[in-house]
Each structure stands twice: as structure tokens, then as C-alpha cells.
Amino acid sequence: MAIEIPSPPKVGMVSLGCPKALVDSERILTRLRADGYAMSPDYAGADVVLVNTCGFLDSAKEESLAAIGEAIAENGRVIVTGCMGNEADAIRARFPDVLAVTGAHQYEAVVEAVHDAAPPELSPYVDLIPQAYDEAGVKLTPRHYSYLKISEGCNHACSFCIIPSLRGKLASRRIDAVLREAEKLVQAGTRELLVISQDTSAYGVDVRHEERMWKDHPVRTHMTDLARELGGLRDGSGQAPWVRLHYVYPYPHVDAVIPLMAEGLITPYLDIPFQHASPAVLKRMKRPANEARVLERLRAWRDICPDIAIRSSFVVGFPGETEADFEYLLDWLDEAQLDRVGAFRFEPVAGAAANDLPDAVPESLKEERYARIMEKTAAISAAKLQARIGRVLPVILDEVGEPDEDGDIGATGRSQADAPEIDGAVYLRNVPADSAPGDILNVRIEDADEHDLFGAPS
């Protein structure tokens, strides 16, 4: 008589917000898979749906609430987690039928809620198979790049931000655990590691940069040591991954990672959230305001590593921002010549100190300033990309197309100056027929526009 093995319960996932939340989603799904759950790609096939929310801005909260509403309408059995989980009363008031609400990176509580909502099927025939928890398990990104979260929380008290109240104070992961996860990811096919946190430069401050043993030698819980060790990882064929640093505050010790970029050990790219340049605005934001020193350091970094790409983000229309403050920012951008820039119109966030500041900037003026900063930064980007025409650059492939009528195969990739999702792209023609996502090709740049490059393998 054939024995019927029960089908495992299925979990659906909607993941919103930043890459740090995406890593949370990956860890939750990895834990659930280890507990015997299967993943569902749609609402219809899921026994329960997880919605990992974002609560940073009011617009993000509305998106999260809309996603919860859609999941309830399509499936009905919904568990809410993530940053907006801190507002459980508001979520339950709007959606009383949610099964459970948990906060950011509360992995055990989420897994327990799933167990309660859709208990795993126990079977001696299945449970004989070991279900080990693997940090490098379920991935929600393409195989060839992975986010590597090194810490939670933040010790800053920026007046526009509520991250510390959502995710707590800085809590650094053990450096040996981070390196072990990174090694597994690289061995499993990751060609690009994207290091993320709320404040990458502060990694290890909370544990006084304690040392741990790794590969028979001690390493400090420190950004520089971490970058050096990540740059030394190799896959099965001896290839080194690209290592890209995000959310880096420009503390003095950041200077020590620039030579690692010049040596080719890590990717020559820094994502630094400057937010503004005017000393008066930075003071109201409760952020460091030594913008002249930053310009000096940018010049010094480029002397050491001419190919370094600097990405940043800026807030326009912060309370009290005058026309003089905004003009100061535009002039500073002319000096800084940043490679990649994102801008955001200031939004009041419930619980943020900035909401109580006087002299709110009218929405129409925010829009006008946003348009001006984007025009400025697009012109800077266009000039910098024009200067790359004729050069041969390494490009990692993200997508490879089908042959056209002439047999030409196109592809989309990124240079070392481009992080996935947020920066530009390199559009390729005539790539080899055996090309695949994750391949790194040497590409001769033939053309450029404001944000993207065009070329062919050299």
C-alpha cells in the first residue's frame, strides 16, 4: 500500500522597502523552509501570506497598507511584519482580520505566527531528512548578487528619521558570522556582494571592535577589516566577487578603505547619504556639517583611486531651507561632482522631531527645487559618462536577450559605478552566445546619455 506523504503548507511573501528589509524577508523564508514550509509565488496557492512592511515615510506606510489590503482581499490569511509592525494598533484598526503583527527583524515571532496560522505537517518520512538553518538560504535577488547585512539599528538622532525607534540602536553582527555568510554566498554563485546596514561606517562600535578568529587569524569587527576580508573571498574557479559598500557615513576611518579600492580588492564605489550641504540645514537635521572638509576628502580619495564612484542622496524642502541654503547645495554639487545622486522631497514622518520645526517649505517650492537639483545632477552625470566613451570597463550582466534577426544578442549590465536598482545601466550589443547573468565582461563604451552607457564586448 502506497504511503501518502503530506504536502507542506505554503507561504507567500510580499516584501516592501529597502534592501535591509529584503534581507529580513530572505531570512524569514529561509527559517520557514528549514521548518518544512514551501514557498508560493502567488496568493491563490498560499496557506498564509507574509507582508514585510516599510514605515519610514508616510507614502511608504500607505504603500504597505495597500499591500496588506490586497493580500487580505486575495488570500484572507495575512501576517504583517517589518518596520510598520511597530504601529500594530493602526494596522489592526484598518484590517482587523490580520492574523498577527510583528516588528522589524523579529524573526522568531514571525516564524511562530506562521506556525500558529499554518502548522507544519509532521511526517516521519519527511522529518527524517535534516532541515538545517542556513543563513545563505532563500534568496529574493538574482543568483549573481546578494545583499549582506552587517548590523541592525542606528545610533544617530537625525531629526527627520525614525529608524532608531523602528529598529533600535546599533547592533553589529559577529564578523566571523558575516564572513561565513558571505563565503557561502560566493561559493553558491554570488558575483557581487552589496554590504548594507543603517550605518556601515559604525560597524563594530557597539562591541568596541572586538576581534574574532577567521581562517586562523584575528579580524576586528570594523568596516576596514570586513572590507579587506570580503575582498579576499574567491569562488570555486578562483574569481573574486565585487564588494560594494552602501550607507557609509564619511567618518575619518573611511579614508582607509580607499586604498583597498585602488588595489582592486573592493569595488571603487561608496554610497554616502550626505542629505544636504548647507551648514544651517545640516544643523537642523542634526547631522555633521563639515561640508568643506568633505570636499577635501573627495579630492583626496580621487587622487588615490581615480575611478571611485560616489553615490549620495539629498533631501530638498526641509523645514527652514531657504533659497540661499538650496543655492549653497547646488554650488556644493558643482564642486563635489558626485557620480550618482538621488533626491527626495521632505515628508513629515509621524514621530520625527523635524515635524515640530518652524518654517515649513510649501509643496510647490519643494517640487521646483526637486526639479532643479535633478537637472543639475543629470548634467553632471551626463558629462562624467561622456568621459567614459572609448574606455574598456568591466561590466556584470543582469539580463541577456534572445538573438535578433541578424543573430545579434543584446544584454543589460552594470559597471562598477552602478549598484542594482538605484543607479544606471550598461546596454550591450553583440555579446557572446554563451553569456549569462552574472558574467563579467570587458566592454568598450561606445556612447552615453544622462544616466546610462552603451557598448560592446572588447
Residue 288: predicted pLDDT: 64
Domain-embedded: residue 194:
yes
Same domain for 115 and 149, yes or no, is no
Domain-embedded: residue 277:
no
Residue 121: predicted pLDDT: 66
Residue 126: predicted pLDDT: 41
Residue 31: predicted pLDDT: 83
Same domain for 210 and 197, yes or no, is yes
Q: How far is the C-alpha of 321 from the C-alpha of 193, rounded, in Å?
A: 37
440 bridge partner residues: 396
Q: Which residues are annotated as a binding site for [4Fe-4S] cluster?
A: 18, 54, 83, 154, 158, 161
Same domain for 90 and 146, yes or no, is no
Residue 137: predicted pLDDT: 62
Domain-embedded: residue 132:
no
Domain-embedded: residue 292:
no
Residue 258: predicted pLDDT: 97
322: CATH: 3.30.750.200
242 bridge partner residues: 192
Residue 68: predicted pLDDT: 95
Secondary structure, 3-state, the chain: CCCCCCCCCEEEEEECCCHHHHHHHHHHHHHHHHCCCEECCCCCCCCEEEEEECCCCHHHHHHHHHHHHHHHHHCCCEEEEEHHHHHHHHHHHHCCCCCEECCCCCHHHHHHHHHHHCCCCCCHHHHCCCCCCCCCCCCCCCCCEEEEECEECCCCCCCCCCHHHHHCCCEECCHHHHHHHHHHHHHCCCCEEEEECCCHHHCCHHHCCCEEEECCEEEECCHHHHHHHHHCCCCCCCCCCEEEECCCCCCHHHHHHHHHHHCCCCCCEEECCCECCCHHHHHHHCCCCCHHHHHHHHHHHHHHCCCCEEEEEEEECCCCCCHHHHHHHHHHHHHHCCCEEEEEECCCCCCCHHHHCCCCCCHHHHHHHHHHHHHHHHHHHHHHHHCCCCCEEEEEEEEECCCCCCCCCCEEEECCCCCCCCCCCEEECCCCCCCCCCCEEEEEEEEECCCCEEEEEC
Secondary structure, 3-state, 74-98: HCCCEEEEEHHHHHHHHHHHHCCCC
Same domain for 380 and 413, yes or no, is no
Residue 292: predicted pLDDT: 58
Same domain for 115 and 26, yes or no, is yes
Domain boundary among 67, 92, 127: 127
Same domain for 190 and 203, yes or no, is yes
Same domain for 260 and 370, yes or no, is no
The residues near 382 (Cβ < 8 Å, ≥ 6 apart) are 448, 449, 450, 451
Domain-embedded: residue 280:
no
Same domain for 417 and 380, yes or no, is no
Q: How far is the C-alpha of 54 from the C-alpha of 350, rounded, in Å?
A: 13
Same domain for 234 and 346, yes or no, is no
147: CATH: 3.30.750.210
Same domain for 397 and 383, yes or no, is no
Domain-embedded: residue 134:
no
Residue 357: predicted pLDDT: 85
Domain-embedded: residue 289:
no
> Quick count: other Cβ atoms within 10 Å of Cβ 107?
15
Domain boundary among 341, 370, 387: 387
Domain-embedded: residue 47:
yes
Q: How far is the C-alpha of 260 from the C-alpha of 237, rounded, in Å?
A: 22
Q: How far is the C-alpha of 43 from the C-alpha of 32, rounded, in Å?
A: 17
Helix orientation angle between 323-336 and 291-304, rounded to the nearest 10 degrees: 10
Residue 11: predicted pLDDT: 93
pLDDT in tens, 323-375: 999 999 999 999 999 999 999 999 877 777 777 788 999 999 999 999 999 99
Q: Which residues are annotated as a binding site?
A: 18, 54, 83, 154, 158, 161
Domain boundary among 271, 287, 322: 271
The residues near 285 (Cβ < 8 Å, ≥ 6 apart) are 158, 159, 160, 275, 276, 315, 318, 354
Say which amino acid occupies 458.
S
Domain ranges, residue 343? 306-387
Q: How far is the C-alpha of 51 from the C-alpha of 82, rounded, in Å?
A: 8
Number of domains making up the chain: 4
> Quick count: other Cβ atoms within 10 Å of Cβ 220?
17
Residue 337: predicted pLDDT: 97
Same domain for 401 and 361, yes or no, is no
Same domain for 161 and 106, yes or no, is no
Q: How far is the C-alpha of 228 from the C-alpha of 201, rounded, in Å?
A: 14
Q: Which residues of the chain have pLDDT under 70?
A: 1-6, 121-137, 162, 164, 166, 288-292
